[in-house]
């Protein structure tokens, strides 16, 4: 039985049912192969674009549906339930689109958000070798030149690198201004001096490309500056506040996929003359998995509402949802492997892939340790 959410509106349930159909018919059958080969899941991408489920958050004036954050969460959750790698492309495209939306530039929106309807892929290039959790220490440099900027530097861990059409790049325009000296630019993958690769050899999310991006004397016209000079970090962190809610949804989806498999397995598998599901110790484990998963889902949906309303407690809720859901996904997927015994430890069952995929949800878009410091700051603010 799937736990249904009586609080979802009819429209949200309809989106969930639509994406679930695509996920099961097109995405699930390729999930094991995507993981095994590490190839970008082209079929998943095409199916989501064809069904209008790739970037529904894009405002109507740029050809999108203007869908709320919960809609994006439901899509990511259902895709991640069957193939986490396939859920990362729309997730990160959305993340990279948010600085454009937050900057409020109609011109940039027209140029870079409208193409998302046809499947254009965005990447969000903030991290560097020595700037991970400490994002303010980026070194990539943007120097003013005639007509625009010249960008030099190396980004690291960039999702969608190599397949992206456009990169949102954080670069230092004023080295003396610290966090206020970072600006955000749109760089085209076809710009001279841009290259990506090689792909990182990762534990999980193996169908999602993660590469360094090299910028060598890249000329970027002035009209590709997002927001004002010095606003880059504010835009990046603001985007992450909204985006890590869909990472929470990704974690919920991965955990749901693992729970579904584990429940199906223990109902069938017999030991000591009985189905495993008859043993109380395993029933308690299943109950705990479902209970934590549902708590993670409800916190994620509550955070999604804060994102849509741009509510003042968004930063706390998005950190809490991502942290709780990713920790839950790690626990639930590990428990699922345990419930399948030796079978769970092999590639014959998808739960080991789900366990590997779950791990990174505790790391990216703010490692959970950093998110706990973010939450503590909010808690202490009133004291």
Among positions 85-104, residues that touch ligand FAD (CB under 6 A) are 92
Residues in the chain: 383
Per CB under 6 A, the list member of 40, 112, 124, 167 interacting with ligand FAD is 124
Per CB under 6 A, the list member of 69, 87, 89, 159 interacting with ligand FAD is 159
Return the DSSP state at 24: I
Instruction: Decide: is 126 part of the binding site for ligand FAD (CB under 6 A).
Output: yes
Query: Can you tell me the distance from the alpha carbon of 123 to that of 177, in angstroms, rounded to the nearest whole number?
Result: 26
CA distances from 244 to 170, 250, 314, 371 (A): 18, 9, 11, 10
Residue 286 beta carbon to ligand FAD: minimum distance, rounded to whole angstroms:
30
Nearer to ligand FAD by Cβ, of 73 and 323: the residue is 323
Instruction: Decide: is 370 part of the binding site for ligand FAD (CB under 6 A).
Output: yes
Instruction: Decide: is 72 part of the binding site for ligand FAD (CB under 6 A).
Output: no
Per CB under 6 A, the list member of 151, 158, 218, 247 interacting with ligand FAD is 158
Q: Which residues contact 313 (CB under 8 A, 6 or more apart)?
A: 306, 378
- The span of 31-39, 212-220, 288-296, 361-369 binding ligand FAD (CB under 6 A) equals 361-369
Query: What is the distance in angstroms between the CA of the first residue and the CA of the last residue of the chain?
Result: 45
Instruction: Decide: is 133 part of the binding site for ligand FAD (CB under 6 A).
Output: yes
Nearer to ligand FAD by Cβ, of 100 and 286: the residue is 100
Per CB under 6 A, the list member of 112, 149, 157, 324 interacting with ligand FAD is 157
Per CB under 6 A, the list member of 169, 233, 321, 360 interacting with ligand FAD is 360
Q: What are the phi and psi torsion angles at 127 (to 5°)? A: -65, 150
Return the DSSP state at 214: E
Nearer to ligand FAD by Cβ, of 159 and 256: the residue is 159
Q: Is 365 a catalytic residue?
A: yes
Residues 163, 68, 243, CA angle at the centre, nearest 5°? 50
Among positions 197-256, residues that touch ligand FAD (CB under 6 A) are 202, 205, 210
Per CB under 6 A, the list member of 346, 369, 377, 379 interacting with ligand FAD is 369
Nearer to ligand FAD by Cβ, of 250 and 256: the residue is 250
Nearer to ligand FAD by Cβ, of 42 and 370: the residue is 370
Instruction: Decide: is 149 part of the binding site for ligand FAD (CB under 6 A).
Output: no
Query: Can you tell me the distance from the alpha carbon of 90 to that of 78, in angstroms, rounded to the nearest whole number?
Result: 12
Instruction: Decide: is 364 part of the binding site for ligand FAD (CB under 6 A).
Output: yes
Under rule CB under 6 A, how many of the chain's residues touch ligand FAD?
A: 20
Query: Can you tell me the distance from the alpha carbon of 154 to that of 18, in angstroms, rounded to the nearest whole number?
Result: 40
DSSP codes, 323-354: HHHHHHHHHHHHHHHHHTHHHHTSTTSTHHHH
Which two three-digit tokens encode residue 185? 């630019």
365 in Cβ contact with 243 (< 8 Å): yes
Residue 185's DSSP bridge partners are 169, 225
Instruction: Decide: is 42 part of the binding site for ligand FAD (CB under 6 A).
Output: no
Nearer to ligand FAD by Cβ, of 157 and 185: the residue is 157
Return the DSSP state at 277: G
- The span of 13-21, 59-67, 79-87, 122-130 binding ligand FAD (CB under 6 A) equals 122-130
Instruction: Decide: is 167 part of the binding site for ligand FAD (CB under 6 A).
Output: no
Instruction: Decide: is 371 part of the binding site for ligand FAD (CB under 6 A).
Output: no
Of 281, 329, 172, 297, nearest in space to 236 by CA: 172
Catalytic residue among 77, 231, 352, 365: 365
Query: Can you tell me the distance from the alpha carbon of 136 to that of 139, in angstroms, rounded to the nearest whole number?
Result: 9
Of 126, 105, 58, nearest in space to 228 by CA: 105
Binding site for ligand FAD (CB under 6 A): 92, 124-127, 132-133, 157-159, 202, 205, 210, 360, 363-364, 367, 369-370, 373
Cite the active site residues. Answer: 365
């Amino acid at each position: 039985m799937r736990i249904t959410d009586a609080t979802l509106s009819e429209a949200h349930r309809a989106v969930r049912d639509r994406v679930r159909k695509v996920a099961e018919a097109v995405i699930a059958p390729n999930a094991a192969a995507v993981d095994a080969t590490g190839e970008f899941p082209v079929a998943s991408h095409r199916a989501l674009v064809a069904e209008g489920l790739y970037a529904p958050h894009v405002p109507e004036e740029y050809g999108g549906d203007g869908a709320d954050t919960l809609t994006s969460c439901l899509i990511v959750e259902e895709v991640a339930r069957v193939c986490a790698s396939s859920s990362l492309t729309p997730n990160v495209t959305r993340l990279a689109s948010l600085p454009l939306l937050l900057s409020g530039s109609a011109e940039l929106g027209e140029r870079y958000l409208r193409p998302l309807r046809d499947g254009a892929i965005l990447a969000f290039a903030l991290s560097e070798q020595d700037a991970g959790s400490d994002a303010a220490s980026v070194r990539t440099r943007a120097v003013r030149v005639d007509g625009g900027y010249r960008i030099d530097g190396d980004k690291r861990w960039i999702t969608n690198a190599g397949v992206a059409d456009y990169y949102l790049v954080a670069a230092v325009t004023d080295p003396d201004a610290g966090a206020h000296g970072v600006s955000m630019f749109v760089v085209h993958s076809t710009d001279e001096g841009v290259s990506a690769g090689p792909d990182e050899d990762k534990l999980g999310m193996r169908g999602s490309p993660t590469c360094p991006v090299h910028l060598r004397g890249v000329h970027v016209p002035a009209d590709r500056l997002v927001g004002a000079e010095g606003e880059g970090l504010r835009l990046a962190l603001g985007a992450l506040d909204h985006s890590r809610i869909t990472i929470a949804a990704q974690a919920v989806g991965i955990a749901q996929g693992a729970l579904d498999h584990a429940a199906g397995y223990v109902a069938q598998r017999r030991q000591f003359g009985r189905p495993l599901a008859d043993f109380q110790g395993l029933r308690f484990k299943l109950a705990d998995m479902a209970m934590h998963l549902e708590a993670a889902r409800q916190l994620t949906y509550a955070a999604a509402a804060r994102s849509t309303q741009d509510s003042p407690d968004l930063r706390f809720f998005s950190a809490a949802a991502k942290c709780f859901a990713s920790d839950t996904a790690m626990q639930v997927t590990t428990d699922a492997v345990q419930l399948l015994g030796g079978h769970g430890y092999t590639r014959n069952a998808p739960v080991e892939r789900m366990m590997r995929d779950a791990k990174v949800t505790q790391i990216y878009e703010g490692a959970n340790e950093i998110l706990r410091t973010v939450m503590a700051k909010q808690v202490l603010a009133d004291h």
